[in-house]
Structure 1
Amino acid sequence: MMPSNSRYRERLLGLVTLALMLFCPPLLLVIDRLPSVSMGWLPLYLFCSWAFIIGLTAWLMEPTKRR
């Protein structure tokens, strides 16, 4: 069951905004142009930020226990 309070909606909006900022093309271009030794930073950045967003989403969607 999803809570319908405004705090929950604010957190979802913040999560979407964070995801949009992490995957915006100018930032991806900067990450892609960083000097690297072997394969580059872009695949690592994409995987880590993707995992971070999924983790935050799972944490946010977890029902809270009321005392």
Structure 2
Amino acid sequence: MRERPTLAGSRLDLHSICDICGKPRNTRKHAKCSRIRQQTKQAEWSAFMAELAAKRLAKQERRRYGR
């Protein structure tokens, strides 16, 4: 099971200005900022993935003749 949903399916909603350091994203690397962002968003992703798993389970239970 995935920890996070795939990102290639849609456009990333990232701003041109980094929300961590406040500098433009295209001027330098933001590896440190990315690590900080991932740590802060971990709880949010966990809740999102738990919600998706619950929806899938409910959908499977609704099927009359599951395969």
**TM-score range relative to shorter protein:** 0.3 to 0.5
Which TM-score applies when normalising by structure 1?
0.40
Higher RCO structure, 1 or 2 (CA under 8 Å, sep 6+): 1
Which TM-score applies when normalising by structure 2?
0.40
Question: Which one has a bigger Cα radius of gyration?
Answer: 2
